[in-house]
A and B are shown apart, each in its own frame.
Chain A
């Protein structure tokens, strides 16, 4: 077993869980909430697109890509902060 004491593990896992929940909240908004109101959003025009359609064709997708890159960075800094990141 890797030599990391229990309190460090717990602190690290609490932060990791927090990040996971934040990530999934953003994910939920752009996976479900936005599209539930697509009809209303369509009355707004964005870059020439009806916004409801735009979100399903591009908007949510762009946010997912950025979200995962951000998640990977944040998680790595959490790991480093608690000294449990891999040796480079």
Chain B
């Protein structure tokens, strides 16, 4: 088996090159079928079904019964491919489906997410990833438990991990359910369980090894699915082949149009879940409050990025410390390809709807004309869009057009009049994004519970076969819980995603950073930091979200990590200094982590 695997690693560029070629041929085939008169529904079903079957096949081929293959993919994933896998792991259903819509509605204020979700990788590279790789842990709580010692520290790390990741994974399973239900024409509740089945097929048999190789495949699908429609649309509108560099004029034009059509006036009606455009596009806030809100949101998303276990554990799979560092750079490069396209997409969509000189525009046209458009009818039917003639003049105003943010990605191909094959491609991309993130998150939770809780705390004598069976049973159980919660539709996609970052930074950011960068940090300090950080963050979230408390200094429910992390930092330092310094052995361990050379601190089969 190891010989075959070695060959596979050597042949990665060829294998994924063929795969990419195959996917492009599949897209062409679908385009030909569309021309031949095959219905849009069939094409949608084929896109989603075909890609999910491929992922499941990769998952099956990567099955393993070895502990280090299951937990860290045998530590032989090259930097570039780990970068792609991290990209897919990172870019969730929310990034894929909701990001461009958020920019469309939120303008500059929303760009804080773009800056935060990319700049966080600087922290990962400079403060965390290489050191955790040298440590040689299987999971993030494994580092906390060994560096600080004792089961309580390990248990608290598991607790923070489970809270943060579970919040996140329900949103992902919700997204797979939404996409599957639409593409396969099944009810949402069934779609959720179908999505879970796909996710488990990818991860259950091969653990981290299977997730790694499916995530690379999913990255390729999602990036093609995101970028191709934008380039197509850009060409159609005369912005050329590299739209990301050429949409400056479109932004300026939107700025001019906004004052003409009255963006900024509040609508007089409201539709649940839908929004009218009220925020000017590129103008940045001039007052302290809006600047402060921007930078605090950036900080939360960055510190959260650097504390989310499903991201950090991707860097445990590289062959060396050096490769871990390079891999962070590649990760951000692959993420950047999508994140710098999202604002371009939002801009083109906005221009298409607002600019009266374009055939696709709707604002300023007669209500009857707009209501007759295919895409308006289709998306109104599923209540993702609404039109009302509030002032009764028969003309559609900007305050009379309501939609959900997700429409920007999902409906843009139709708005621009692109062939249906593009909509099918977008559905496959959204599915890939949501599935890959859900895979990483479920695995992070199940691995922490099986390795840290079961093996390290409950039954340290368990043999490897037993451990891997427990890991898989947990994966199914947690997946089922997440799918059950998702099927109850409790949270909107984005609220929950931001909370995961805040939970992670509240409990884990400082214990992880100080574990490497401050030798004096000890067990008592780390325990206090994790416990009080999580407690303070959660209490604050509850108070501002449900308790009716006025947020301090504009730190609202999206930014509660600031409170949690501050409390965590202060208690960790105070308690560490008030108690004895860590023993000789722990200090030597920190010294070892700081240099790349030599054996990892934990042995490879711990």
A1-60 interface (Cβ within 8 A of B):
1-2, 4, 9, 12-13, 16, 19-20, 23-24, 27, 30-32, 35-36, 38-39, 41-42, 45-50, 52-54, 56-58, 60
- B228-286 residues with Cβ-Cβ distance < 8 A to A are 244-249, 251-252, 255, 281-286
Mask, B276-313, CB within 8 Å of A = 1, is 00000111111000010011001100100000000000
A45-88 toward B: CB 8 Å interface, digit per residue (1/0)?
11111101110111011101101110110011001000111110
Report how many residues on chain B are interfacial, defined by Cβ distance under 8 Å: 58
Which residues of A lie under 8 Å from residue B127 when comparing CB positions?
20
> Do A85 and B596 form a contact, CB below 8 Å, given A61-B339, A64-B118, A65-B332?
yes
- Residue from A1, A19, A32 whose CB has the most chain B CB atoms within 10 Å: A32
Do A79 and B596 touch across chains, with their CB atoms under 8 A apart?
yes
B599 on the A face (CB < 8 A): yes
CB <8 Å contact, B121 and A42:
no
Whether, in the assembled complex, B184 has its beta carbon less than 8 Å from a beta carbon of chain A, the answer is no
A53-B251, A72-B125, A79-B595 as given contacts; A38 in contact with B329, CB under 8 Å: no
Partner of A85, one of B251, B298, B322, B339: B322
B321 within 8 A of A: yes
| Given A2-B595, A20-B127, A61-B114, A68 contacting B284 (CB threshold 8 A) | no
Total A-B Cβ pairs within 8 A? 168
CA gap between A86 and B322 in the complex, in Å: 8
Contact A64 B328 (CB under 8 A): no
Knowing A35-B295, A69-B329, A71-B126, the reply to whether A9 touches B284 (Cβ < 8 A) is: no
Contact with A along B105-143 (1 / 0, CB 8 A): 000100110111011011101110010000000000000
Q: Check B295–A48 contact: CB distance below 8 A.
A: no
User: Which chain A positions have C-beta within 8 A of B294?
Assistant: 35-36, 38
Known A-B contacts A1-B592, A47-B245; A87 and B597 likewise in contact (beta carbons under 8 Å): yes
Chain B 590-606 per-residue mask, 1 if CB under 8 angstroms from chain A, else 0: 01101111110000000
- CB < 8 Å neighbour of B115 from A60, A79, A87: A60
Nearest chain B CB to A31 CB, angstrom units: 5
Contact of A23 among B118, B122, B594 (CB under 8 A): B122
Does the CB pair A52–B119 fall under 8 Å? no
Residues of A within 8 A of B592 (CB): 1-2
Q: Which residues of B contact A16 (CB under 8 A)?
A: 594
Check if A72 sits within 8 Å of B282, measured CB to CB: no
Q: Is the beta-carbon distance between A35 and B115 smaller than 8 angstroms?
A: yes
Q: Output the residue of A16, A30, A36, A68 with the most chain B CB within 10 A.
A: A68
Residues of chain B in range 543-566 having any CB-CB distance to chain A below 8 Å: none
Inter-chain CA distance A49–B239, complex, in Å, is 14
Closest chain A residue to B302 by CB distance? A31
Complex Cα distance A76/B322, Å? 7
Residue of B nearest to A74 (CB): B325
Listed from nearest, the 4 A-B pairs whose CB atoms lie closest are A48-B248, A2-B598, A38-B284, A56-B111
Minimal beta-carbon separation of A18 from chain B (angstroms)? 12
Q: How far is the CB of B510 from chain A (nearest CB, A)?
A: 15
Q: A23-B126, A38-B284, A53-B284 are in contact. Are A61 and B597 (CB under 8 A)?
A: no
Known: A35-B291, A67-B122. 7 other contacts (CB 8 A): A32-B298, A48-B252, A49-B248, A52-B282, A62-B340, A71-B329, A76-B325
How many angstroms from the CA of A36 to the CA of B298 in the assembled complex? 11
- Asked if residues B108 and A56 are in contact (CB atoms below 8 Å), the reply is yes
